[in-house]
Amino acid sequence: MSLTVVKGLQSEIFVPVTPPSVFTKPTKPMKEWVVGLATAAGVHRKDQERFNLAGDFTWRKIPSDTPTDMLMVSHGGYDNSDVNKDINCMFPIERIHELVAEGIIAGEAPFHAGFMGGGGNIEKFTNETGPAIAEMFKEEGVDAVLVTAG
Amino acid sequence: MQRAIEKAGVPTICVTALPPVSRQNGTPRAAAPLVPMGANAGAPHDVAMQRGITIDALKLIETIETPGKIVPLPYEYHAQI
What distance in Å separates the CA atoms of residue B75 and residue A10, rounded to the nearest whole number? 42
With beta carbons less than 8 A apart as the criterion, state whether A145 and B18 touch: no
Q: Which residues of B touch A90 (CB under 8 A)?
A: 38-41
Nearest C-alpha of chain A: how many angstroms from B74?
16
Q: Would you state the pLDDT for residue B81?
A: 64
Q: Measure CB to CB from residue A134 to each of B5, B53, B59 and give the nearest one.
A: B5
pLDDT tens digits along A35-46:
999 999 999 999
In angstroms, how far is the first alpha carbon of chain B from the final one?
A: 29
Amino acid at A69: D
The H or E element containing residue B18 is none
Q: Would you state the pLDDT for residue B42?
A: 97
Q: Domain-by-domain residue ranges, chain A?
A: 30-148
Interface-testing mutation among A25, A28, A89, with chain B (most B C-beta atoms within 10 A): A89
Mean pLDDT within B31-60 = 97
Mean pLDDT within A1-7 = 70
Burial of A58 from C-beta contacts in 10 A (0-12 / 13-18 / 19+): middle
What distance in Å separates the CA atoms of residue A77 and residue A88, rounded to the nearest whole number? 18
ipTM: 0.96
